[in-house]
């Protein structure tokens, strides 16, 4: 006698990462992430060279007295040096604008690389420090489009530093000059989403 097939007590569901759509999402995400990380490393070099230029220090000496300066610290030093050395107001305003956006991207980059992203294959990738947070956690959505927006902004920042502060000569061809001018005058693409803070239980009790 053949026994009837018993239904499993467990409802198995194929994980998104094993589906064709999930695989496409993962590929698009990691390709965008790779482009972003590569461009960020170039910006770190550009910030270092800009710091050396405003400090008026030869590279051989700068490597000794200014080793391994982080993006946030380097940006602050550059703005202070530009002010103390009497840089033109237009140059200082440009640095302020550039480093404000770089600071936003740097903060997102730090969280992204330190905490990673979850639910990428599901199409709702999120970066969160909830596991390690002692207070209100930080979290924000991430996507290939957001990564590409940050990468585009980093290219724009590189152009600002190279052509307006490091003295790189502008292209001679008119079309190339127009293309560079378009990059320099373009609006920032990446807008970091702000996660609304939840009120503490004490504040909620007091409000009630």
- Domain residues for 143? 17-194
pLDDT at residue 4, as a whole number:
56
Q: Are 139 and 130 in contact (CB under 8 A)?
A: yes
Q: Are 125 and 28 in contact (CB under 8 A)?
A: no
Per-residue pLDDT of the chain (208 residues; tens, 9 = 90+): 555 555 556 666 888 777 889 999 999 999 999 999 999 999 999 999 999 999 998 888 888 877 778 899 999 999 999 999 999 999 999 999 999 999 999 999 999 999 999 999 999 999 998 888 788 888 999 999 999 999 999 999 999 999 999 999 999 999 999 999 999 999 999 999 876 554 444 444 454 4
Q: What is the pLDDT of residue 57?
A: 86
Q: Is residue 205 part of a domain?
A: no
Please report the DSSP string for 188-207 in residue order: P---PPPPPPPPPHHHHHHH
Q: What is the pLDDT of residue 181?
A: 95
The pLDDT of residue 167 is 92
In a domain, 87, yes or no: yes
In a domain, 148, yes or no: yes
In a domain, 10, yes or no: no
Is there a domain that residue 104 lies in? yes
Give the pLDDT of residue 6: 59
Cβ pair 139, 149 in contact under 8 A: no
User: Helical H runs in the chain?
Assistant: 20-55, 59-65, 71-84, 89-115, 144-164, 174-185, 201-207
Q: How far apart are CA 106 and CA 124, in angstroms?
A: 22
1 domain residue, yes or no:
no
pLDDT for the residue 80: 96
Q: Please count the structural domains in the chain.
A: 1
Instruction: Give the pTM.
Output: 0.84
Q: Is 91 within the bounds of a domain?
A: yes
In a domain, 37, yes or no: yes
């Amino acid at each position: 006698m053949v026994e009837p097939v018993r239904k499993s007590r467990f409802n198995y569901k194929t994980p998104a990462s094993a589906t064709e759509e999930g695989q496409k999402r993962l590929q698009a995400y990691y390709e965008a992430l790779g482009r972003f990380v590569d461009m960020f490393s170039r910006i770190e070099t550009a910030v270092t060279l800009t710091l050396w230029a405003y400090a008026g220090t030869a590279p051989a000496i700068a490597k000794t007295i200014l080793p391994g300066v982080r993006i946030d610290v380097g940006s602050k030093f550059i703005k202070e040096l530009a002010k103390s050395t009497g840089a033109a107001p237009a140059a200082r305003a440009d640095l302020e604008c550039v480093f404000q956006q770089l600071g936003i991207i740097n903060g997102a980059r730090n969280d992204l690389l330190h905490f990673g992203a979850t639910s990428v294959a599901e199409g709702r990738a999120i970066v969160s420090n909830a596991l390690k947070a002692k207070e209100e956690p930080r979290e924000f959505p991430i996507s290939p489009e957001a990564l590409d927006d940050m990468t585009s902004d980093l290219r724009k920042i590189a152009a600002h530093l190279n052509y307006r502060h490091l003295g790189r000569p502008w292209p001679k061809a008119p079309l190339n000059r127009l293309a560079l001018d378009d990059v320099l005058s373009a609006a920032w693409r990446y807008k970091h989403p702000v996660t609304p803070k939840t009120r503490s239980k004490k504040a909620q009790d007091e409000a009630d």
